[in-house]
Amino acid sequence: MSERSSVGQVRAWLSARRRFQFVLTVAMVMLLTATCVGLLMVPNPVLPKLRAAQQARAESLGQVAAADDDPRLAQVRRTVEPFGQLVTRVVPTGAGQESLVVGHPAQRIEIDVLARELGAATTAVTDLWGPDWAQSALVVVASAPAEFATLLRATTDLPEDVAAASIADPFTPGTRPTAQRVVFSPDAGRRLSPDGLRTLLRHELTHVATRAETVDGAPSWMLEGFAEYVAHRGQDHHFGDIAPTVTTRARAGQLPTDLPAAAVFTGTPAVLAYEQAWTICAFIADKYDEPHLVDLYRRIAASKQDPASEDRILQEVLHTTRADFVADWRAWLSPRAA
């Protein structure tokens, strides 16, 4: 083959290759142009939804990653993971602490409400009780009755009227409780408004804050009444809305004759008992002041009591007898229920 023939073939090959590159370049430009035009034609509402979904996923992944090393999450993970995918919210709370709200996608609305309220709830509890507690919490929203019972270490499904409860590991008096958590029932969000969830969160968080100074078997009227007082404090709730049963009975002339016993805080009488307990603590705060209420709580909750020991503590803290205390409480109720 001659040199001229070889050069001609090379030129012909290069010419064909240039034509191919030119065609390929034009095709790529047309494809890119069509793609850009297609994106411009996508309806405006679609893009924000896509961006929101991406941001939400990134936020969720970030929060879960931040919580993965939290030992509190590890304590409940084995219980909650069999019930489905986890949703975790990390919430800054008092004294630079972080709290967790954990649940499943079906309870995302309740999780978001509780996460939004947890910081303010921690502040509200600390404002009355004081800073001597962890000022952080683990809040779990159950997705099924079995999960709710397991998280609270109950041997059977809990009664349907229980919307939330708190629990801790057994501890020695004088030490700080461990493994504390607040657990909401699967239907708490359906039964309660956001305001109801906020109030219940503050109630249970009060039990978390005060547990180190609380003994099992201490009078329920003090334990539950104080938690109810903190829950409603500063929320501009009216007397009749907080204690409608007490109000109705008082208007009918049916005033309580004694402090409610522990037995009436379960079952059908519990609604009235919780309302009465709140009114007792509201009465103490109103007639004496809130520091006296906190001091009385610390004394009453520190051990099991009977009428004689309650009488002694009431005289030491409020300078009144138990009988006079009950009489003054009854007199305080009447005008507020009118």
Higher pLDDT, 280 or 26: 280
pLDDT for the residue 58: 33
pLDDT for the residue 153: 93
User: Tokens at residue 225, please?
Assistant: 């009444």
Higher pLDDT, 185 or 28: 185
Helices 244-251 and 270-287: angle between axes, nearest 10 degrees: 80
Confidence of residue 30 (pLDDT cuts 50, 70, 90): low
- Sign of the Cα torsion 317, 318, 320, 321 reads negative
Alpha carbons 58 and 68: distance in angstroms, whole number? 15
What do you get for the CA distance between the two ends of the chain, in Å?
Answer: 120
pLDDT higher than threshold 90 for residue 94: no
Confidence of residue 67 (pLDDT cuts 50, 70, 90): low
Q: How far is CA 128 from the centre of its chain?
A: 19
CA torsion angle 154 156 160 165 (round to 10): 0
| CB 219, CB 262: distance < 8 Å | yes
User: Tokens at residue 338, please?
Assistant: 């009118």
What residue type is 87 in one-letter code? V
pLDDT, tens digit (0-9, with 9 covering 90-100), for 122-181: 999 999 999 999 999 999 999 999 999 999 999 888 888 899 999 999 888 778 898 999
| CB 261, CB 222: distance < 8 Å | no
pLDDT (mean) for 43-50: 40
Dump the DSSP string for 135-179.
---EEEE-SSHHHHHHHTT-SSPPPTT--EEEE-----TTS---S
How would you class 87 by CB atoms within 10 Å of its CB: exposed for 0-12, middle for 13-18, buried for 19 or more?
A: buried
pLDDT, tens digit (0-9, with 9 covering 90-100), for 281-329: 999 999 999 999 999 999 999 999 999 999 999 999 999 999 999 999 9
pLDDT (mean) for 26-49: 45
pLDDT (mean) for 113-124: 97
pLDDT for the residue 241: 97
Alpha carbons 15 and 294: distance in angstroms, whole number? 94
| CB 230, CB 124: distance < 8 Å | yes
DSSP, collapsed to helix, strand or coil, labels residue 131 as: coil
pLDDT for the residue 159: 87
pLDDT, tens digit (0-9, with 9 covering 90-100), for 231-264: 999 999 999 999 999 999 999 999 999 999 999 9
pLDDT, tens digit (0-9, with 9 covering 90-100), for 95-113: 889 999 999 999 999 999 9
Percentage above 70 pLDDT, the chain: 80
Alpha carbons 12 and 288: distance in angstroms, whole number? 106
Length of the chain as a residue count = 338
Dump the DSSP string for 37-78.
HHHHTS-TTHHHHHHHHHHHHHHHHHHHHHHTT-HHHHHHHH
pLDDT, tens digit (0-9, with 9 covering 90-100), for 199-225: 999 999 999 999 999 999 999 999 999
pLDDT (mean) for 54-76: 59
DSSP, collapsed to helix, strand or coil, labels residue 211 as: helix
pLDDT for the residue 247: 97
- State pTM to two decimals: 0.81
